[in-house]
């Protein structure tokens, strides 16, 4: 993580702290569980992408003579509600993904998952509370003042679309169905009768929904907050799609255990998956060709860092 990313992670954490109710506010146990889910957090990749996309679009707007008073700082202030909202949605999704009815994980980032620390009922409620809080942040008075009503409404739509059945929740449903299919007594190796191309297509579709949809939305929301033009938004959208799929490839490579669930290494082999991930990252950088190197410097840095691992 470079110096810019470290500074932005601190700013995002401060904004998240302001957005979340304090543990002392009733119901205390629920608010403690919500904060436990959000802090200390991982690398905050999604909010960093929102801020970096805003900088790319905002700097380009400045170069064209339509900039913001305050330069980079003003751009990031405009995009901060997007950064906070997307991280709250991500945190909600992790709580629910870890539940026994889903992935049934006992640990995340080296400590007990929320349902292990607080019980299943409170974990579900914590996730249920984080999701609407994200939209409260993104549609609230401060966001409307910073971004403008139209941009705030567009960002709300983007995040809602990415979170629902046509995005992240839909991807999780596909994942659950695949796990159930693999665990049936008559399932065999789960791959019989399917070509390698079909298996890869299924893994790509799962990645694009479960992981990629929220990453794509993070990039688009940041760009929208900074007033991106249609051609700029198209380029950044393509970048977000490629980055999102590559993110899942490298995440799969970090955990290649044969748990029966289809991943990129299972579908392509470890070497093939790594080559594919590197190709996706190269294409993601090419998608930024509309922007100068300085305009998209943070996006390029995040892209080049991805191959070293994610969290």
Return the structure tokens found at 171. 């991807």
* Greatest alpha-carbon span in the chain: 65
Query: pTM of the full predicted structure?
Result: 0.93
pLDDT at 199: 84
Give CA–CA dist 56/235, Å, rounded: 11
Give CA–CA dist 270/158, Å, rounded: 33
- With 0-12 / 13-18 / 19 or more C-beta atoms within 10 angstroms meaning exposed / middle / buried, residue 73 is exposed
Q: Do 115 and 127 touch, CB atoms closer than 8 A?
A: no
Return the structure tokens found at 58. 């905002």
Distance of CA 35 to the CA centre of its chain: 18
Give CA–CA dist 55/257, Å, rounded: 38
Return the structure tokens found at 51. 């801020």
Return the structure tokens found at 121. 């009922």
**112 beta partners:** 107
Q: Look at phi and psi of residue 213 and say left if phi exceeds 0, alpha if psi is from -120 to 50, else beta.
A: alpha
Give CA–CA dist 267/195, Å, rounded: 10
Task: Tell me the H-state helices in 28-167.
Answer: 28-38, 45-63, 71-98, 114-118, 120-139, 141-147, 149-163
The predicted-structure confidence for 79-116, as pLDDT tens digits, reads as follows: 999 999 999 999 999 999 999 999 899 999 999 999 99
pLDDT at 255: 80
Q: Do 55 and 236 touch, CB atoms closer than 8 A?
A: no
What 8-state DSSP symbol labels residue 25?
Answer: S
CATH 1.10.600.10 describes domain 3-182+189-306: yes
Q: State the virtual CA torsion across 182, 188, 194, 197 in degrees, nearest 10.
A: 60
Q: Do 172 and 101 touch, CB atoms closer than 8 A?
A: no
Nearest 5°: CA angle at 213, between 208 and 215? 110
Q: How does pLDDT run along the chain (311 residues), one tens digit per residue?
A: 589 999 999 999 999 999 999 999 999 999 999 999 999 999 999 999 999 999 999 999 888 777 676 789 999 999 999 999 999 999 999 999 999 999 899 999 999 999 999 999 999 999 999 999 999 999 999 999 999 999 999 999 999 999 999 999 999 999 888 878 776 666 555 554 556 677 899 999 999 999 999 999 999 999 999 999 999 999 999 999 999 999 999 999 988 765 657 899 999 999 999 999 999 999 999 999 999 999 999 999 999 999 764 44
228 CB-near residues (< 8 Å, 6+ apart): 53, 57, 61, 236
DSSP assignment string, 97-121: HHSTTTT--SEETTEE-HHHHH-HH
């Amino acid at each position: 993580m470079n110096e810019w990313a470290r500074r932005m992670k601190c700013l995002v954490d401060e904004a998240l702290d302001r957005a979340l109710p304090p543990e002392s506010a009733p119901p205390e146990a629920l608010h403690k569980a919500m904060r436990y889910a959000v802090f200390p957090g991982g690398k905050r990749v999604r909010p960093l992408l929102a801020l970096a996309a805003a900088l790319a679009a905002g700097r380009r707007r400045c170069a064209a003579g339509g900039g913001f008073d305050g330069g980079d700082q003003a751009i990031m202030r405009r995009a901060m509600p997007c950064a906070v909202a997307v991280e709250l949605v991500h945190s909600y999704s992790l709580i629910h993904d870890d539940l026994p009815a889903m992935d049934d994980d006992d640990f995340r980032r080296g400590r007990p998952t929320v349902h292990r620390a607080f019980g299943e009922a409170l974990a579900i409620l914590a996730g249920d509370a984080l999701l609407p809080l994200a939209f409260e942040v993104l549609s609230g008075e401060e966001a409307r003042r910073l971004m403008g009503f139209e941009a705030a409404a567009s960002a709300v739509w983007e995040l809602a679309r990415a979170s629902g059945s046509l995005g992240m929740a839909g991807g999780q449903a596909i994942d659950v169905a695949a796990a159930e299919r693999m665990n049936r007594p008559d399932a065999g190796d789960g791959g019989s009768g399917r070509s390698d191309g079909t298996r890869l297509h299924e893994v790509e579709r799962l990645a694009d929904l479960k992981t990629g949809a929220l990453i794509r939305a993070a990039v688009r929301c940041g760009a929208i907050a900074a007033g991106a033009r249609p051609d700029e938004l198209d380029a950044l959208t393509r970048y977000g799609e490629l980055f999102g799929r590559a993110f899942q490839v490298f995440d799969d490579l970090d955990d290649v255990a044969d748990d029966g669930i289809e991943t990129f290494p299972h579908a392509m082999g470890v070497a093939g998956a790594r080559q594919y991930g590197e190709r996706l990252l190269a294409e993601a950088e090419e998608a930024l060709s509309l922007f100068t190197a300085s305009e998209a410097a943070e996006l390029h840095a995040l892209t080049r860092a991805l191959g070293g691992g994610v969290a």
